[in-house]
Amino acid sequence: MLKYNIRTALRKISLLKNHTVISLIGLTISLVCVFVITAWTIQELQYDSFHDHSESIYMVTTEMKIENGDNVTLAETPTALAQELKNRIPSVEHSFNFMYLYGQRVLKIGNNKYPESGVAADSKMLEVLNFPLLYGSINDLDKPNSIFITEKLAKKLFPAESPVGKVIEYPNNNLLTVKGILRDIPENSSLKFDFIVSNQIEEGNDSSWWPLSTNTIIKTIPNTDIESTKQMANTIWRENIKYEQFSIDLLPIEKYRYGANFGAFNAKHGNYLKLFSFIGIAILILLLASLNYINLVSAYLIKRTGEVSIRKIHGASSKTILKYFLVESAINSIIASVMAILLSALFIRYFKLILDVNISSRYLIISYILGTIGAFLMIGIISGLYPALLTSSYSPFSKIQSNRSSVYQGRLRNAFVISQFILSISLTIVCLFIIRQTSYLNNFDLGYNSHNIVEIYLPPQGEKDFETIKNNLLSNPNITQVSFAGNSPVDVSPFFMTDNWKWDGSEEGASTSIYRLTVDDSYLNIFQIPLLEGRNFSGAKTDETKVIINEKLSQLLGFSSPIGKILWQGENKFEIIGVVKNFHFQNLSNTIQPQLFAYSATKNRMFVEINQNTEPGLNAIKNQFTQFYDQLFSYSFIDDQVKSLYVNENKISLGIIVFTILTILLSCIGLIGLITFNTELKTKEIGIRKVCGAKITEIVVYLNQDILKWFLVGVVISAWISWYLMTKWLGNFAYKISLNWWVFLLGALIIFTITALTISWQSWKAARANPVETLKYE
């Protein structure tokens, strides 16, 4: 019987060409999106779960309470913490430090230089975490002259020979021997690196409680009471760290990517907004495709009542007819799934660009399996169940029941079309608001100049050459200004928040936190940060006890004029010599915080402003850099750093634009199918109206008047939904656009225009048909 149903369903699918093509296009487009988004979602949610006993592994994080009362999680901890936790907490089986080598370290082999990303650690890291060695012993990592490299890096550095035993020159003239080869790091690992060196190379035997300069991971014994462990860890912390706004937490490594509020300060961590946005889009697209399918199938059932009647007259039971329609629907879903798998494999690289990720083929295969099963269940069974039940219960001898059934089907189709309008209009309005907010963020006046300024990280051994480099650069006509500092004004991390500040009139026992940026006397000029009161740094040695504060801190101090007033940090006192206008030194999700500039001779960044001749300016900088530093020259523009603050918002914006277009396309496909069905159903009526003198425009309006009513209902409901969603989303930003009424209107007009163009062509074609031919057809 199943074989007969399949054969009959395939024959019917081939006969209803228009209906089949329209249905399959919609299903295929939706499944392509669902497959790719599902693969990415599974990969994201499986981050760091590949480690053995991952449920017992915890990242120790530093929790910091900021001025507005929120908590921000920092991955960094003191170097002394790991050993203290192991020594004093019985439930801690292993603990170790590792340090991200931020930026890139230049590895030299002969005259060739390779900038690569790495970590500094010891053998406990490979003992606890699942980064398998292909060659070597993990104990070699405890030797300061050893380096472990990944299989990928080994092929890059030594393409034609074995890397084991080879010597690599590491920064600061360290000669390291390749003692181990690691399997390439999995895509779903929060820890990503190309090599590991001994932590003795980077931090020596330092074991201190401040500053926060390393990362700490612990592994607990089985069945540990983690809350008790956390309390003991915080007791140890409080004994050694007196800053009240800091505490520590134990974050399961499986939740490291999404399990804490890392704020805007660490791009390695996942973004819940991005994740849920794309999951929501996938669900909406699949829902829209299912509504399209149900609508089109139920519409065409009116034309298939004769087929059902004949089957029933020949003895087919309701159960038999139910099985037949389910088989037909299942075949459609399988065909769409196969086509979607082929298309998603073809276009996967474009989706990777939209999502800004590398999607492992393993998770694509899983998504294909789960997606096909899901499509079979949702589209093949659930979407096919309604028409199957409707037709199987149909009585071929009851005209009254037939009329009632038609009315019921009509009302249900109306509801489906309204749902489509609600989804497409809501998504369009949301898309417009996200584009406006993203544009607002990208063009926001941050309060400082970021144009044509290049940032270069400097090795520590070059500090004595600051003045020489500066004078040489300024002698070049393509260079206008040069500054040396310890901080960029872009996205200053809470890592640079300093504590224990006091002043005359401050509350007794209170400890105020202030962001501290170390700069030189050219910093305010190159970034064009306006000085409202007082003076700039002069460059003299005595300026090391002077500070310049921002308006926010000036308001906090409460002085009518802060110039000349003293700030105390412990035993150190600093005289306020100037006040600058507030500027935004963090992502616009955050409000402006109290901040000061301190003058310091220790600086690790160079900022150079070049004129419009970009290439000659960069070449001049490179020549000076290579003259004084034996490192690979690299740079970044401050403008690009500012743009990177909103990379998630930009990616979400791009993704929603693309998927909104697909959603509108799906809606158009559904409308084309529906209007095609309506015109076929009313062919005789159209012919009679034309014979009676009806104009083409009147017939077009008549055919589409119901759709226009459904559209208006969709506008009202979608306006409320999009207003609610955007109110929630914009609440994440300290600086945001207003929910202007005209954006809601524009979103509705866009869908109205597309709908009108979509349905007008089919309606016009039907209205212009020769009534003689249409009546003869009927």
Residue range 304-347, pLDDT digits in tens: 666 667 776 766 666 777 777 777 777 878 888 888 888 888 87
Which one, of 447, 484, 377, 357, lies nearest residue 31 by Cα? 377
User: pLDDT tens across 80-122, in order?
Assistant: 999 999 999 999 999 999 998 866 788 999 888 898 999 999 9
Q: Using CA atoms in the order 212, 102, 442, 554, what is the torsion angle rounded to 10 degrees?
A: 30
Q: Give the position of tokens 């170390």.
A: 518
- CA 523/CA 521 separation, integer angstroms: 6
Predicted pLDDT of residue 546: 95
389 three-state secondary structure: helix
What mean pLDDT do residues 561-577 have? Answer: 91
Q: What are phi and psi of 20, to 5 degrees?
A: -65, -45
Predicted pLDDT of residue 400: 40
The structure tokens listed for 445 are: 């006046």
Q: Is the pLDDT of residue 267 over 50?
A: no
460 vs 502, residue with greater confidence: 502
Name the strands in the sheet holding 479-485, side by side, starting at the edge strand that comes first in the sequence: 479-485, 605-610, 453-457, 636-637
The structure tokens listed for 284 are: 């909406």
Strand partners, 418: none
In this structure, of 163-167, 203-207, 214-218, the range with the lowest mean pLDDT score is 203-207
What are the strands, taking DSSP E only, across 221-260?
246-252
What mean pLDDT do residues 632-640 have? Answer: 89
In this structure, of 50-59, 186-195, 204-213, 769-778, the range with the lowest mean pLDDT score is 769-778
Predicted pLDDT of residue 392: 56
- pLDDT band (50, 70, 90) for residue 399: very low
What mean pLDDT do residues 530-543 have? Answer: 92
The structure tokens listed for 139 are: 């104990």
Q: Is the pLDDT of residue 449 over 90?
A: yes
**Are residues 309 and 318 in contact, defined by beta-carbon separation less than 8 angstroms?**
no
Alpha helices for 682-740 (secondary structure H): 683-691, 696-730
* Whole-Å CA distances, 722 to 317, 611, 613: 47, 45, 46
In this structure, of 4-13, 26-35, 195-204, 501-510, the range with the lowest mean pLDDT score is 4-13
What mean pLDDT do residues 529-540 have? Answer: 93
Which one, of 206, 233, 205, lies nearest residue 218 by Cα? 233
Predicted pLDDT of residue 701: 74
Q: What are phi and psi of 178, to 5 degrees?
A: -70, 110
- CA 515/CA 452 separation, integer angstroms: 26
451 vs 17, residue with greater confidence: 451
What mean pLDDT do residues 634-654 have? Answer: 84
Give the CA angle between residues 379, 380, 385 to the nearest 5°.
90
What mean pLDDT do residues 606-635 have? Answer: 89
Which one, of 178, 50, 196, 230, lies nearest residue 125 by Cα? 196
- pLDDT band (50, 70, 90) for residue 702: confident
- CA 89/CA 67 separation, integer angstroms: 32
- pLDDT band (50, 70, 90) for residue 268: low
Which one, of 299, 302, 282, 305, lies nearest residue 378 by Cα? 282
Quick count: other Cβ atoms within 10 Å of Cβ 399?
Answer: 9
3-state secondary structure 301-329: HHHHHHHHHHHHHCCCCHHHHHHHHHHHH
Is the bond preceding 459 in cis, omega lying within 30 degrees of 0? no
In this structure, of 204-208, 395-399, 570-574, the range with the lowest mean pLDDT score is 395-399
- CA 635/CA 755 separation, integer angstroms: 49
Four-residue CA torsion sign, 71, 72, 77, 82: positive
Predicted pLDDT of residue 397: 54
What are the strands, taking DSSP E only, across 69-166?
71-74, 92-100, 105-109, 112-116, 118-121, 133-135, 146-150
Question: CB-based contacts of 425: which residues, under 8 Å, 6+ apart?
Answer: 714, 715, 718, 719, 722, 747, 748, 751
- pLDDT band (50, 70, 90) for residue 265: very low
- CA 666/CA 663 separation, integer angstroms: 5
Q: Is the pLDDT of residue 403 over 60?
A: no
**Are residues 289 and 30 in contact, defined by beta-carbon separation less than 8 angstroms?**
yes
Predicted pLDDT of residue 301: 64
506 vs 382, residue with greater confidence: 506
Q: Is 754 exposed, middle or buried (0-12, 13-18, 19+ CB in 10 A)?
A: middle
In this structure, of 2-6, 177-181, 481-485, 532-536, the range with the lowest mean pLDDT score is 2-6
Q: Is the pLDDT of residue 258 over 70?
A: yes
Predicted pLDDT of residue 559: 87
- CA 709/CA 525 separation, integer angstroms: 61
Predicted pLDDT of residue 738: 93
399 three-state secondary structure: helix
**Are residues 228 and 91 in contact, defined by beta-carbon separation less than 8 angstroms?**
yes
**Are residues 723 and 636 in contact, defined by beta-carbon separation less than 8 angstroms?**
no
User: pLDDT tens across 733-754, in order?
Assistant: 888 999 999 999 999 999 988 8
What mean pLDDT do residues 396-419 have? Answer: 59
The structure tokens listed for 209 are: 């409680």
- pLDDT band (50, 70, 90) for residue 283: confident
408 vs 639, residue with greater confidence: 639
333 vs 537, residue with greater confidence: 537
**Are residues 597 and 580 in contact, defined by beta-carbon separation less than 8 angstroms?**
yes
Q: Is 557 exposed, middle or buried (0-12, 13-18, 19+ CB in 10 A)?
A: buried
Q: Is the pLDDT of residue 28 over 80?
A: yes
Alpha helices for 180-225 (secondary structure H): 199-203
Predicted pLDDT of residue 665: 81
Strand partners, 606: 456, 484
604 vs 703, residue with greater confidence: 604
- CA 366/CA 373 separation, integer angstroms: 11
- pLDDT band (50, 70, 90) for residue 4: low
Q: Give the position of tokens 């003689």.
A: 772
Quick count: other Cβ atoms within 10 Å of Cβ 334?
Answer: 15
Four-residue CA torsion sign, 509, 515, 516, 520: negative
Four-residue CA torsion sign, 678, 679, 683, 688: positive
Predicted pLDDT of residue 526: 96
- pLDDT band (50, 70, 90) for residue 504: confident
- pLDDT band (50, 70, 90) for residue 401: very low
Predicted pLDDT of residue 262: 63
What mean pLDDT do residues 195-199 have? Answer: 93
Q: Is the pLDDT of residue 563 over 90?
A: yes
- Between strands 546-550 and 572-580, the pairing is parallel
477 vs 311, residue with greater confidence: 477
Give the CA radius of gyration of the chain: 33
668 vs 579, residue with greater confidence: 579
Mean pLDDT, the chain, integer: 82
Predicted pLDDT of residue 458: 84
- pLDDT band (50, 70, 90) for residue 478: very high
Q: Report the Cα–Cα distance between both ends of the chain, in Å, rounded.
A: 35
Q: What are phi and psi of 53, to 5 degrees?
A: 55, 40
**Are residues 671 and 755 in contact, defined by beta-carbon separation less than 8 angstroms?**
yes
Quick count: other Cβ atoms within 10 Å of Cβ 580?
Answer: 24
65 three-state secondary structure: strand
- pLDDT band (50, 70, 90) for residue 298: low
- CA 65/CA 496 separation, integer angstroms: 14
- pLDDT band (50, 70, 90) for residue 402: very low
